[in-house]
């Protein structure tokens, strides 16, 4: 199913961006010092950040995560369990764990499915999840545009946004260059599934997951 | 980045910032300043900018005289999240008074701005106002005027951020008196390159 066949009309997809002054100001932000992933890892080793500080390195910028509510965390747990069942042995389902994505990014997606078992990542974070999932409420625009572009640039083949606002699963596939996108890439294909639908991860083609199992 | 939606950035505290320097992660002479928790990269300086810095420093030294000193592009501690390095500021006392800690409450802060005008009027003005800096001037190299920003004002119905309630623009033919040196007259033309 191509993106234009998705029948569900999403309020959040069609809403225009408000011409808000803070946002207009943000587009003129002065340049902040960018960090490489190696520098970021060193700062963590040095203990510069407070333990439990919710920080991700996204395209060289230190980004803070929104505090998460009960539905968000519930969705993470439900999705992790459903993916563990769908992928089975030989796969590791990580929740909110760091991914060594590229030279200037170390995001911590809500869920990432990587091959192998925990010991395989005792020395270095995984870099290329077979499936990456972000659970989105207030972070919807950032998960779609910002992280979507970042994950597409890294060539992640299967990216899901579990949209709690519209109670649908957005499945992004086929990374393609796009000079208009934040990081120069985007997903060419978007399929949207409501709570009645079932979805199959690219890397677990024999499985079928009810979207209702993921939603809180 | 032209995109409207941006994630929130981590705000560094001054303590974290100083640890970055202690760990040799940043060098003291890196062109970086901590403003409102953001590590801002300073724009490379043009000769016109540098000339204005020297002119302003000289004029202020003359105007303030004994009991004050003028520092250029040196750190200032504003609060827990800001340690900017304004182009010029006037501090009470003598340099030895600040052997153990950077100055916190200058009598006057001056920024020289061309491409950085928006930053000088926006984020920087907000940070200086929040720190209750009473007298903040911008030498605006684009319009060749001096802007005075006075009367720090907290956010409220009229304003979203900290700012200055009294701002004025002075042309090259005007003269100004700093709040802390009220009997002096500094011709604006002396400050322009």
C-beta atoms of B4 and A61 within 8 A = no
Question: Higher confidence at residue A98 or residue A67?
Answer: A98
Residues on chain A touching B33 (C-beta within 8 angstroms): none
What gap in Å lies between CA A129 and CA A115, rounded to an integer? Answer: 8
Task: Residue A192: give its domain's CATH number.
Answer: 3.90.1570.10
Nearest by CB: B32 against A28, A33, A42: A33
Could you tell me which residue, B67 or B19, shows the higher pLDDT? B67
Nearest to B168 by CA among B176, B156, B180: B176
The predicted structure's pLDDT at residue A22: 39
In sequence order, the β-bridge partners of residue B9 are: A63
Q: Which of A13, A21, A25, A30 to mutate to test the interface with B (most CBs of B within 10 A)?
A: A30
pLDDT tens for residues B46-59? 899 999 999 999 99
Please say whether the beta carbons of A182 and A146 come within 8 A.
yes
Mean pLDDT comparison of A67-76, A162-171, B25-34, highest-scoring range: A162-171
Domains of chain B by range and CATH? 44-190 (3.90.1570.10)
pLDDT-above-90 percentage for chain A: 74
This prediction's pTM: 0.80
* pLDDT for residue A29: 57
The answer to whether residue A14 scores a pLDDT higher than 50 is: no
Q: What is the mean pLDDT of residues B139-164?
A: 93
Number of domains in chain A: 1
Whether the complex's predicted ipTM is more than 0.90 is answered with: no
Domain residues for A35?
3-213
CA distance B4 to B8: 12
- Chain A residues near residue B25 by CB distance under 8 angstroms: 39, 42-43, 46, 48
Confidence of residue A166 (pLDDT cuts 50, 70, 90): very high
Contact B145, B170 (CB under 8 A): yes
Q: What Cα–Cα distance (Å) separates residue B74 from each residue in B57, B85, B131, B183, B188?
A: 12, 5, 17, 27, 23
**B63 phi/psi in degrees, rounded to 5:** -70, -40
Question: Measured between alpha carbons, how far is A59 from A142 in angstroms, rounded to an integer?
Answer: 13
A15 or B181, which is more confident: B181
């Amino acid at each position: 199913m191509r993106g234009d066949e998705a029948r569900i009309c999403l309020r959040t997809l069609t809403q225009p961006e408000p011409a808000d002054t803070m946002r207009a100001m943000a587009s003129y932000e002065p340049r902040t010092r960018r960090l490489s992933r190696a520098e970021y890892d060193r700062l963590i080793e040095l203990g510069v950040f407070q333990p439990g500080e919710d920080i991700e390195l996204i395209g060289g910028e230190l980004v803070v995560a929104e505090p998460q509510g009960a539905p968000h965390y519930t969705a993470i747990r439900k999705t992790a369990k459903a993916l563990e069942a769908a992928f089975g042995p030989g796969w590791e389902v990580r929740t909110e764990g760091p991914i060594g994505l590229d030279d200037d990014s170390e995001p911590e997606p809500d869920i990432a499915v990587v091959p192998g078992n925990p010991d395989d990542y005792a020395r270095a974070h995984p870099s290329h999840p077979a499936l990456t999932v972000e659970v989105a409420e207030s972070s919807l625009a950032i998960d779609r545009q910002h992280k979507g572009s970042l994950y597409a640039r890294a060539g992640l083949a299967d990216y899901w946004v579990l949209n709690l606002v519209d109670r649908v699963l957005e499945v992004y596939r086929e990374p393609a260059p796009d000079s208009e996108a934040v990081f120069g890439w985007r997903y060419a294909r978007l399929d949207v599934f409501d709570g009645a639908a079932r979805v199959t991860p690219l890397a677990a083609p024999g499985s079928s997951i009810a979207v209702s199992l993921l939603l809180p | 980045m032209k995109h409207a939606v941006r994630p929130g950035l981590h705000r560094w505290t001054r303590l974290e910032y100083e640890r970055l320097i202690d760990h040799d992660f940043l060098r003291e002479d890196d062109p970086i300043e901590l403003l409102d928790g953001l590590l801002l990269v300073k724009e490379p300086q043009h000769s016109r900018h540098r000339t204005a810095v020297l002119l302003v420093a000289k004029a202020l030294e003359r105007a303030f005289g004994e009991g004050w000193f003028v520092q250029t592009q040196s750190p200032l501690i504003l609060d827990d999240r800001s340690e900017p390095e304004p182009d010029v500021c006037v501090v009470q006392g003598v340099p030895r008074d600040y052997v153990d800690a950077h100055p916190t409450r200058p009598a006057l802060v001056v920024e020289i701005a061309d491409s950085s005008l928006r930053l000088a009027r926006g984020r920087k003005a907000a940070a200086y106002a929040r720190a209750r800096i009473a007298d903040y001037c911008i030498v605006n190299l684009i319009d060749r005027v001096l802007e005075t920003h006075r009367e720090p004002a907290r956010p409220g119905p009229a304003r979203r951020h900290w700012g200055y309630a009294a701002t004025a623009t002075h042309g090259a033919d005007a003269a100004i008196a700093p709040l802390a040196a009220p009997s002096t007259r500094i011709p604006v033309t002396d400050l322009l390159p």
